[in-house]
Structure 1
Amino acid sequence: MSKIIVFGAGGQLGQCLRELANQRNIQDIYFPTETEADILNVEALKQVFDQQKPEYCINCAAYTAVDKAEDEKDLAEKVNKTGAENLAKLCNEYQSTLIHVSTDFVFEGNTPKLLTETDVTFPINVYGETKLAGEKDILLNTTRYFILRTSWLYSEYGNNFVKTMLRLGAEKDELKVIADQIGTPTYAMDLAAVIFDIIESGSNKYGVYHYSNEGVTSWYDFAKAIFDIAKVNIKVYPVPTSEYVTKAKRPAFSVMDKSAIKNAFQASIPYWRESLEKCIAKL
C-alpha cells in the first residue's frame, strides 16, 4: 500500500477508514488530528505534505449540517469549497492522488431516474451548492482525483440517522418519518472499503464516481427497517415532506447509478438492508 493521509479523520467515515485499515493491516496510513491538518490552514497542510509525502490523500473533512448551512453559508463554503481547493492544489504540487467524498445533494432530485455522473447538477440547498463548488475547484486544480458522491451515510460512529432513530426508539412510543424523499442509505464501512480498493488497484481511471449501497428506499422505510432489525417496538407513521418543514430543501429522488464504479473497479456493492443489519449488530 502507498502512503495515505486521511483528512477529517475524526468524522464517521474517517473512523471507519481507521477501523478498516486495522482490519486490513494497512500500515502506511496517517490520521492527523484536525488541528494538525486543518484543511483551511495552508501552511499547516504544507508541513503535513512535506513530512508525509503522501501518494494518496483521502478527504473526509466536510461541513455536513444541511439545515445549519443555510445560516452558516460562509463557513460551509470555506470547509466544502476552499478546503477542497487547498487539498487539490497541494495534491497537484506533491503529485498525490486526491480521493474526495461528495454528495448526492449536488442534484436537484426532481426526476425519478437513476442519476449518472454526467447528469446535470443543480443543488437546491447551500450544503449541495458548496459541495459542488468543491468538486469544481478540484477539477480546476488537479488531474489526479477520484470524487466519490455518496448518499445517506451512516455507521457506528458520529451522528447519523440510524443512531438518531435508535435513540428516539428508546425514548418514544411513536414517530413520524418522511415518506416521500427517496434515496439509498450507505454504510460508511462499505464506502471505506471501496476507497481502499481503489487505492490498492493503483488505477488512474480518474474522475467522478457514484457510490451508495444497492437498492432504493424512503426515510420512512429506512426507519422501519432500523426498528425491525433492532427489534424496537415503536409505531412509525409516514408523513409528506410538507408536514416536516426544514430550513434546507432536500432532493425528492436521489438514487445514483453505480455502473461506472462497478465497471472501473469491479466493485461489488452490498444491498442497503444487509449492510444495515451489520451496522446494527455492531451497535
Structure 2
Amino acid sequence: MKTDNSTNKAWLGAVFRFFAVVFAGAGLIMLQGLSEGLEPWIRGFMASSPLPDELRFHAASHGALIGILFSASLLAMLRAPLAKPLVLRFYFIGHLIFLGTLLLTDPALAKQSFFVFILFTAVLGILFAVYPMRRDIFRPREPKAMNRALLVMTGVALLGLLPFMIYGITGQIGDADMQFRWGEGTALGLALVYAGYLTATSRTGARTIGILQSATYVYMGAASIALPDHPGSWGIVGGASAIAYGVVYAVVVLRQLAPRASVAKPNAIQS
C-alpha cells in the first residue's frame, strides 16, 4: 500500500514538473515575461512591435511579476517539488493578487479581459490537481517559526513600496488607454510584501521565495536606474536603494534560512 502511494506521488511529481515547465515557458514567452523584462535595456526583443517609450518601465514591472516571481518560482520547483508547497502557495496567491488588483482598480478592463481570469483559473486548477501535497499548499502541517529579522525587513519593504503601490492605483484609475500597466505595479508590490511574509515563516521553501524576492528587488532597481525619468520609475536613488535592499535581504535569507536536510523535516517529501 505504501509502495503504491509512493509510486503515485512519483508519477504525479513527474506530471507536475511537465506542467511547471509548460506554464513557466508560457509566462516567459506567450505572456512576454522575458521580452518585456528586457525592455529597459533591449527594446522590442521578441516583440511583434516595440512598446511606446513611456511604457518601458511598466514593462519592467511586468517582467518582474510574470517573469521572475511567477515563472521562475515554477522553475525553482523542478528540483524536489513536493518539498516546496510554500512556493506553490505563493504562486497561487500571487495570481489571485494580480486578478484582484485588476478587478478593483479597473473593473471595466477586467470585464473586457475576462479570458485572463479563465486562463489563470485553468492554470491554477491544473497545477493543484497534479500536485500530490495539495493539503500542504494552504494548510501546511509544518509549523511556522517567524523570523524577526526577515519580518522587520518585510515591514521596511512595505513602507518603501507603499508610494509605488498608491501611485499605481491612482494611475490605473485615471488610465484612459484601458491597459493594466499602472495597476500591475501595485500587484507587484503586494506580491512582494506577501512573499516577504511567507519567507519570514521559515517554512520549507521560504529560502527559495526569499531568493526570488532578492532578485526582483535588484532587477527593479537596475531597471529604475536604466530608466530614471520614465513613468512609474523609482529613479536613481530609489533604484540604488532597491538594489542595496535586495542584496542585504539575500544575505539575511541565506544566513538565517540555511538549507536543512529533508530527513529533519518529515513533511518535506523529496521527489
The TM-score normalised by the length of structure 2 is: 0.29
Q: Which has the higher strand share?
A: 1
Larger RCO: Structure 1 or Structure 2 (Cα < 8 Å, ≥ 6 residues apart)? 2
The TM-score normalised by the length of structure 1 is: 0.28
Q: Which has the higher helix share?
A: 2
